[in-house]
Amino acid sequence: MKERSAGINKSQKAAIFKEYVKTIVYVFILAFFIRQFVIQAFRIPSGSMEDTLLVGDFLLVNKFIYGASSPDHIPFTSVELPHFRLPGFREARPGDIVVFRSVQNPYKNIIKRVIAIEGQTLEIKDKVVHVNGKRISNPPKSKYLNPRISPAWESNLDNLGPVKVPPGMVFVMGDNRDNSYDSRYWGWLPKKNIKGKALIIYFSWNKDAPLWDIVHKIRWGKIGSLIR
């Protein structure tokens, strides 16, 4: 009787272990699917989007709205995969804050604001942005820190164009206009590189506050804020 009971216990343990493994695998597959095609977490690493987004803001990115794209490469390897994009609800519009794959480093994700889309004519005159000949308003929390205006012959920072955005491309800039490495420097962003639209801040961590000061270490007022 004891041997029979021991045998039953072992088989039960094996069945339970098998169920645990299956559950873990299903959860992993589901998490990968959600991350790849629905929503993805992103952390703000630099000040190029200040004061709209701050270093230490943790975001959720809506990948479904534009149509999620296929993985860039096989996970944990450098083997690239063919690109495809699922149908989306709409394409990126001027004013959208988007996360995209860098045109210079395909393994790096960047966040900027779309300023102009394909077919539109962009011009920057003494820091003032014009699209299709009309001056566009600066985002509410955007900023310029340098009062000096760089001439066109020196750089594209404050004077650029007019230039027409080519098919399949968009022009992006950071809200911290004088401290953002964006389309003014490296050119057009292919739409296929866009991964999703910044949706909401789910957490915000102030690295400059003392570690023991939890009241100020966490930016409580930013948690749950929609990104515009």
Residues recognised as catalytic = 48, 112
In the chain, the amino acid numbered 187 is G
Beta-strand relationship, 194-204 and 97-101: antiparallel
Among 148, 94, 157, which Cα is nearest to 124's? 157
Q: Report whether 199 contacts 224 (CB < 8 A).
A: no
Cα–Cα distance, 38 to 19 (Å, whole number): 27
Beta-strand relationship, 134-135 and 97-101: unpaired
Cα–Cα distance, 211 to 112 (Å, whole number): 29
Cα–Cα distance, 32 to 55 (Å, whole number): 26
- 108 burial type by CB count under 10 A (0-12 exposed, 13-18 middle, 19+ buried): exposed
Q: Report whether 133 contacts 154 (CB < 8 A).
A: no
Among 100, 132, 137, which Cα is nearest to 116's? 132
Sign of the CA dihedral with 125 first, then 131, 136, and 142 last: negative
Q: Report whether 165 contacts 122 (CB < 8 A).
A: yes
